Chains A and B, each alone.
Chain A
Amino acid sequence: MKQSKHVNLLSTIAIFFMILIMLFSMIVFQMRISDTTEGFQSKEPKVLNEYYVMIVDDHSSSFWNSVYQNAQKLGEKSGVYIELMGNEYMQNYSREDCLRIAIESEVDGIFLEADESSEMTELINEAVDKGIPVITAFGDNSASKRQSFVGVSSYNLGLEYGNQVLPLAGAGKTKVMILMTANAKDSGQNIVFSGIQSVVSSSTKASRIQVESLTIDRSTSFAVEESIRDIFMKPENLPDILICLDEISTACCYQATIDYNKVGEVNILGYYDSKTILNAISREVVHSTVSIAPEQTASYLLEAISEYKRFGQVSGYYPVDTKMITSDNVSELMGGEPVEE
């Protein structure tokens, strides 16, 4: 009897063991399968109402990426999908190409960092004629039928730079160089230049300050970096104050100053408050920079286009606030983060 009990116990255990193993593997299997299926496609794509594209000159810049991300977030709330054009397969496409693609793709709206070229004017007009609203941002094409412009006032920006230049100018002759990285068709940077000029010329130091501009052709790759290095490699040409009007040239100048050991000799007035640039300010390699709020830019862009769509017209200009950042207030913007060495 004892033995038979033993046999029964073992048989029961064996049967339960098999059933347990079976259930266990079924559960694991099920979990595994659902994991895998989920991995195929995270979720059903969300259907949205409108499709806008954002076309910028340098889509790798942190400023534009920040604007794009903010715009995307805001857009999603109102059922709008925004695409930053110029993905990895279209890197070599110019803004005009992208604009053409956008027009042919019949998008519902275009945010464009424009310039004043007539080709762009034509394209913008074509888009507007086809019923696609175009909002320009930071680079305008005033001759076109674009609906609105969102950006800083270049003249005001010039004035801000000018005000930074004056205290830096010493007793001797001061050479100020403005790097015009945009192409000549861009009137915006010219206006900045005039703004600086007007501040300088109206000051007492006007005779000692020599303001000049250097235009860098951006149409070829790496041109900005190389041109800036060229400046540093010829010490006789090296200005006392370098004013950069975009993010890339600011970063390049900062690195060149360190590489050629010109810290303290050259004062850099930069553009945009990327992390690198803020670091540079806190190390006092870059004297100051202009901070532009990407959130504000993004919300203005969406506001402009939705206003146009709703009312058929919109204010032609949305001024974005700027702020000068120097070593005095840089720590506020860095949020107390330790300086990267």
Chain B
Amino acid sequence: MRSSRFLKPSLQKKLVFVFSLTTVIVLIVNIFMYTNINKLITRLDSIYQSHLSLNELEEALDSVQNSMMNYLSTKTTDVMEDYYRSEQTYTNLISLLREDITDDSLMLMERNIKKISENYLDLTNQAIEAKRGRNIVKYKARSDNATELYHYLSTYIYSLSSEQFKNNSMNYSALSSSIRSLEMVSNILLIGVALGNLILIILLTQTITLPLKKLAKTANQVADGNFLVKLVEVKSEDEVGVVTRAFDKMVVNLRDYIQKLTDSMETERKLKERELKMETHLKDAQLKYLLAQINPHFLFNTLNAGAQLAMIEGADRTCQYVQNVAEFFRYNLKENNEVVSIADEVTLVDNYIYILNVRFSGEICFEKNIDSSVTETKIPSMILQPIVENSVNYGIRDVEWEKRITLSVYRANGRIHMSIKDNGVGMPQAQIDRILSNQPREAALSRDNNGIGLNNVIGRVRLFFGKDDIISIISAGKNLGTEVIISVPERPVLKNSSTGGESDV
């Protein structure tokens, strides 16, 4: 796919590609232009080279003519040497001239100059020879002829050089106009390449800066605490792409980490809440108890004093009664009594029933079916007595028939069941549901109860065991009695380590 081709390579490759492309283009063009200009100049050189310096030729000719004339008039050896030297020079020069017959008039001129020059040199040599031989007539005639040819030659050379100049001017104007247009071409080329390059660089920098800008924007959002930003899309495989990918990974990991943190905080918060609730409930119970039993130590000590007095006076029944009352009140004075054994609870119920029976002349028939193998099982304190109190107050208080309460503790289905059953007025299902759903009961504190309501008990048991199906209430119908069953695991798993620790005491 084309699109990825440009995005895939690294920044370095991209940059190298763009710059080398431009450089190569400019290089190729330059090489091309220089090669061509070189060719042009070589061609030009070859044209000019063929035209030897006519000035030189003319000077040599003049010098031949002058030295000949000088020699003829002075006959000195120096001049003769001059003559031979210049004659040699001139001979050399004319040997360079072309003598082909062509349809090029300039070349024909060269040929004619060469031919005439050869004849001219012939004549001058003859004139010199004649002069040396003192053949006056001959050297005069030859020098005249030579001079005539000299004039023709001058004219010829002049006309050739003029023609060449004309040609060269034409060449020059052609060359200069072509150089001007070449300049224009190279300008257009440079501008074009510069434009293309500019576009490429803009595009290239865009592919670098745009993702960076996006990245920076997203990073700023993250910095402002927004971890739910949309991840930056990675289009390129270059260094920017690598950075972007790393950033995305970081954001995702941050998100995960924060989620985990939130979850664990939530769990801890729940645990704390449960502990707090437990404590609150217990404190609530204790407070209510204390409210009811102002200064129980004082009361307990007072009751003990009364028991001793009764024993001294020999009133055994009074003594036992007062002792039972004292035991009952002492239960709540125990330190660290949040978790107790079933046996303790059963004893508290025994005390309570004894007090009630003394109060109400033994009208409550209390039955116990206790499996002694499970009585050491730990349960929260103040559980059984409030339920029994509830049965007395709401179940059997006003019934006409024999009032009966049965407390059973037994093992069944791997659980330990504690059942408090009365034969009182019973409970409609709606009320049962309401109680089990732990709705606060209006007028919770009735005039006569010990102050700890059923829902307090339910709440604490549920919190303690961390389950809702700990307690159940069964009533067969009106006047058919009520049974409250607490089923606890044989080995209660203590969720709260602090309570667990205390349970061992």
A binds B: yes
Name A residues whose Cβ lies closer than 8 Å to a Cβ of B.
Answer: 1, 3-5, 7-8, 10-15, 17-19, 21-22, 25-26, 28-30, 32-33, 35-37, 39-41, 45-51, 76, 81, 83, 87-90, 93, 97, 100-101, 104-106, 108
Interface hub of A33, A76, A97 (most chain B Cβ within 10 A): A33
Q: Chain A interface: which of B59-67, B177-185, B377-385, B419-427?
A: B177-185
Measured CB to CB, the nearest residue on chain B to A35 is B178
Return 17 A-B CB contacts under 8 Å, by A number.
Answer: A4-B4, A4-B207, A11-B200, A15-B200, A17-B192, A19-B25, A21-B192, A29-B185, A37-B43, A45-B102, A47-B102, A49-B101, A81-B103, A89-B162, A90-B159, A100-B152, A104-B119
Q: A29-B36, A45-B100, A45-B102 are in contact. List 4 more A-B contacts (CB 8 A).
A: A21-B193, A25-B29, A32-B185, A101-B116
Please state if B40 and A37 are interface contacts (CB–CB under 8 Å). Answer: yes
Near A by CB (< 8 A), chain B positions 3-51 give: 3-7, 21-22, 25, 28-29, 32-33, 36-37, 39-40, 43-44, 47
List residues of chain A with CB within 8 A of the CB of B186. Answer: 25, 29
Please state if A22 and B36 are interface contacts (CB–CB under 8 Å). Answer: no
Question: What CA separation (Å) do A39 and B29 show in the bound complex?
Answer: 24
List residues of chain B with CB within 8 A of the CB of A49. Answer: 101
List residues of chain A with CB within 8 A of the CB of B101. Answer: 47-51, 81, 108
List residues of chain A with CB within 8 A of the CB of B29. Answer: 22, 25-26
List residues of chain A with CB within 8 A of the CB of B7. Answer: 4, 7-8
Q: Chain A interface: which of B105-113, B223-231, B296-304, B440-448?
A: B105-113
Question: What CA separation (Å) do A21 and B199 show in the bound complex?
Answer: 15
CB distance from A208 to the nearest CB of B (A): 53
Q: Is B155 an interface residue (CB 8 A)?
A: yes
List residues of chain B with CB within 8 A of the CB of A15. Answer: 21, 196, 200
Please state if B188 and A21 are interface contacts (CB–CB under 8 Å). Answer: yes
Measured CB to CB, the nearest residue on chain B to A2 is B3
Beyond A10-B199, A29-B33, A33-B178, whether A47 also contacts B25 by CB under 8 A is: no
Beyond A14-B203, A37-B43, whether A89 also contacts B108 by CB under 8 A is: no
Residue in A21, A83, A97 whose CB lies within 8 Å of B152: A97
List residues of chain A with CB within 8 A of the CB of B204. Answer: 11
Question: What CA separation (Å) do A104 and B32 show in the bound complex?
Answer: 50
Please state if B39 and A33 are interface contacts (CB–CB under 8 Å). Answer: yes
List residues of chain A with CB within 8 A of the CB of B6. Answer: 4, 7-8, 11
Please state if B115 and A105 are interface contacts (CB–CB under 8 Å). Answer: yes
Q: Is B335 an interface residue (CB 8 A)?
A: no
Please state if A45 and B185 are interface contacts (CB–CB under 8 Å). Answer: no
List residues of chain B with CB within 8 A of the CB of A104. Answer: 115-116, 119-120, 149, 152
List residues of chain B with CB within 8 A of the CB of A4. Answer: 3-4, 6-7, 207, 235-236
- What 0/1 readout, one digit per residue, does chain B (235-257) give for beta carbons within 8 Å of chain A? 11000000000000000000000
List residues of chain A with CB within 8 A of the CB of B36. Answer: 29-30, 33
Q: Is B175 an interface residue (CB 8 A)?
A: yes
Please state if B159 and A81 are interface contacts (CB–CB under 8 Å). Answer: no
List residues of chain B with CB within 8 A of the CB of A87. Answer: 159
Please state if B152 and A51 are interface contacts (CB–CB under 8 Å). Answer: no
List residues of chain A with CB within 8 A of the CB of B119. Answer: 104, 106
Residue in B155, B182, B189 whose CB lies within 8 Å of A22: B189
Q: Is B206 an interface residue (CB 8 A)?
A: yes
Q: Is B174 an interface residue (CB 8 A)?
A: yes
List residues of chain B with CB within 8 A of the CB of A26. Answer: 29, 32
**Interface size grouping (class) on chain B:** 35 or more
Please state if B116 and A105 are interface contacts (CB–CB under 8 Å). Answer: yes
Q: Is B195 an interface residue (CB 8 A)?
A: yes
Please state if A105 and B40 are interface contacts (CB–CB under 8 Å). Answer: no
Residue in A28, A36, A48 whose CB lies within 8 Å of B40: A36
Q: Is B158 an interface residue (CB 8 A)?
A: yes
Please state if B28 and A7 are interface contacts (CB–CB under 8 Å). Answer: no
Tell me the interface secondary structure of chain A in the complex: helix
Name B residues whose Cβ lies closer than 8 Å to a Cβ of A.
Answer: 2-7, 21-22, 25, 28-29, 32-33, 36-37, 39-40, 43-44, 47, 100-105, 107-108, 111-112, 115-116, 119-120, 148-149, 152, 155-156, 158-159, 162, 170-171, 174-175, 177-178, 181-182, 185-186, 188-189, 192-193, 195-197, 199-200, 203-204, 206-207, 210, 235-236
Across the A-B interface, the 9 shortest Cβ-Cβ residue pairs? A21-B192, A89-B159, A45-B104, A18-B196, A45-B102, A36-B178, A105-B112, A14-B199, A39-B174
Residue in A3, A21, A40, A101 whose CB lies within 8 Å of B44: A40
Question: What CA separation (Å) do A76 and B103 show in the bound complex?
Answer: 9
CB distance from B108 to the nearest CB of A (A): 6
Interface hub of A28, A76, A93 (most chain B Cβ within 10 A): A28
List residues of chain B with CB within 8 A of the CB of A32. Answer: 178, 181-182, 185
Measured CB to CB, the nearest residue on chain A to B176 is A36
List residues of chain A with CB within 8 A of the CB of B105. Answer: 83
Residue in A11, A18, A30, A51 whose CB lies within 8 Å of B22: A18
Measured CB to CB, the nearest residue on chain A to B5 is A8
List residues of chain A with CB within 8 A of the CB of B206. Answer: 7
Please state if B155 and A18 are interface contacts (CB–CB under 8 Å). Answer: no
Please state if A29 and B182 are interface contacts (CB–CB under 8 Å). Answer: yes
CB distance from B321 to the nearest CB of A (A): 93
Please state if A28 and B185 are interface contacts (CB–CB under 8 Å). Answer: yes
List residues of chain A with CB within 8 A of the CB of B39. Answer: 33, 37
Question: What CA separation (Å) do A100 and B119 show in the bound complex?
Answer: 12
CB distance from B252 to the nearest CB of A (A): 22
Measured CB to CB, the nearest residue on chain B to A79 is B101
List residues of chain A with CB within 8 A of the CB of B196. Answer: 14-15, 17-18, 21
Question: What CA separation (Å) do A93 and B25 show in the bound complex?
Answer: 61
CB distance from B23 to the nearest CB of A (A): 12
Residue in A22, A39, A101 whose CB lies within 8 Å of B28: A22
Please state if A41 and B115 are interface contacts (CB–CB under 8 Å). Answer: no
List residues of chain B with CB within 8 A of the CB of A18. Answer: 21-22, 25, 192-193, 196-197
CB distance from A95 to the nearest CB of B (A): 14
Question: What CA separation (Å) do A284 and B120 show in the bound complex?
Answer: 55
Beyond A47-B100, A49-B101, A105-B115, whether A100 also contacts B3 by CB under 8 A is: no
Question: What CA separation (Å) do A8 and B105 show in the bound complex?
Answer: 62
CB distance from A272 to the nearest CB of B (A): 27
List residues of chain B with CB within 8 A of the CB of A35. Answer: 178
Question: What CA separation (Å) do A109 and B239 show in the bound complex?
Answer: 88
CB distance from A310 to the nearest CB of B (A): 19
List residues of chain A with CB within 8 A of the CB of B203. Answer: 7, 10-11, 14
Please state if B158 and A89 are interface contacts (CB–CB under 8 Å). Answer: yes
List residues of chain A with CB within 8 A of the CB of B112. Answer: 101, 105
Please state if B192 and A36 are interface contacts (CB–CB under 8 Å). Answer: no
CB distance from B385 to the nearest CB of A (A): 76
CB distance from A234 to the nearest CB of B (A): 41
CB distance from B146 to the nearest CB of A (A): 11
CB distance from B204 to the nearest CB of A (A): 8
List residues of chain A with CB within 8 A of the CB of B170. Answer: 39
Measured CB to CB, the nearest residue on chain A to B236 is A4
Measured CB to CB, the nearest residue on chain B to A38 is B174
Please state if B159 and A48 are interface contacts (CB–CB under 8 Å). Answer: no
